[in-house]
Amino acid sequence: MKKTFTVNGEEHTFIFEPHETLLSVLRKNGFTEVKSGCGEGECGACLLLLDGRLVNSCQVFAATAAGKKITTVKGIGTIHDPHPVQEAFCDTGAVQCGFCTPGMVLAAFYLLGRNPDPSEEEIKTALDGNLCRCTGYTKIIEAVRLASKRMSGDG
């Protein structure tokens, strides 16, 4: 199949097999910030935003994502101009091996876009589709709280 995708605001044409997942197609075409983890929708390493909705890209057929707006973690900020969520993850030490981080950052970004001042319980619920095997979540939750404060001009 040959289809056009909009990734981080830019149009790309990819050739892929009809059964391939969005995760597979993106990684083959250089978007390796989308991590390949469990492949079953449980770990959240492959999260991205599809038309603004947080989804597991391993659970999306690439064929159904053509023409939709895809945002990876690189689409919300860069190393020179990071998003407050990305900055907060660094500042609080919420990044250890870094494998889960793109998914965690996007889950936090998605949450704060819908709920700028979440409670701890709401943060935990928003991260219910993300697994981290290094930091134990405390720093990650702290990072989301810090990003929330900074984004509301309070931090």
Partner 1 sequence: MAELTWYEPETLEEALPLLEREGVYPHGGGTFLLMGGLKKVKGLIDLDRLPLRRFQATKSFVELGSSLTYAEVTENIEKTDPGHVLLKALSCAASTPLRNRITVGGTVSSFPAWSDLLGPLVALEAEVVTAGANGGIFPIDRYAKEPALRRKTLVTAVRFARRVWDSYYHREVRTRFDYPAFTVTVLSRRSEEMIEDVRIVVTGCSGKFARLMPLENLFRGKPAKPADGREISKRADVRFPAKKGLDADYLAHCFRVALHRGLAQVTGETPAGEGDV
Residues 1, 15, 38, 97: which binds partner 1 (CB under 8 A)? 1
Region binding partner 1 by CB under 8 A among candidate stretches 6-14, 41-49, 85-93, 139-147: 41-49
Record the tokens describing residue 26, joined without a space.
């993106």
Choose between 64 and 78: whose C-beta lies nearer to partner 1.
64
The 10 Å Cβ neighbour count of residue 144 is 28
Residues 28, 63, 96, 137: which binds partner 1 (CB under 8 A)? 63
Residue 115 C-beta: closest distance to partner 1, Å: 12
Residue 129 C-beta: closest distance to partner 1, Å: 3
Beta carbons of 52 and 111 less than 8 angstroms apart: no
Bridge partners (DSSP) listed for residue 61: 21
End-to-end Cα, the chain, rounded Å:
48
Record the tokens describing residue 104, joined without a space.
């965690």
Record the tokens describing residue 138, joined without a space.
């405390």
Chain positions contacting partner 1, by CB under 8 A: 1, 17-19, 21, 40-42, 44, 47, 53-56, 58-61, 63-64, 107, 110, 125-129
